[in-house]
Amino acid sequence: MEKVIAGYSVDVTEEGYLTDMNKWNKDIAAAIAKEIGINELTVGHWRVIEFLRKDFAETEKMPTTRRLKNVGNIATKDLYDLFPDGPLLKATKIAGLSKPVSCV
């Protein structure tokens, strides 16, 4: 379905995930973050978001929490502090990626 986010018309799933990661930009990321209760994206948030996008582009696989920790050097505790109540769900949504299969 089509949705306007930060002035951009994009296609999203029923749960609000972008269907085309190439339509993503930082304005859209900030707007999605606000929608899900993260009022400001800090340097820490951007570090996670940029790792997710880069890793997915390179591997064509959705990164796991373990991969964020082991390859991205992002502590699990930090991930939960930055993206409370479902860090991988929230981070991938803000990053313009699809919903991780490991998340219900």
Residue type, 72: G
The residues that are catalytic are 103
Q: Which residue, among 21, 43, 6, has the nearest Cα to 95 in the 3D structure?
A: 21
Query: Is the CB of residue 75 less than 8 Å from the CB of residue 69?
Result: yes
Listing DSSP states for 46-99 in one string gives: HHHHHHHHHHHHHHSSPPPHHHHHHTT---HHHHHHHS-SSHHHHHHHHTTPPP
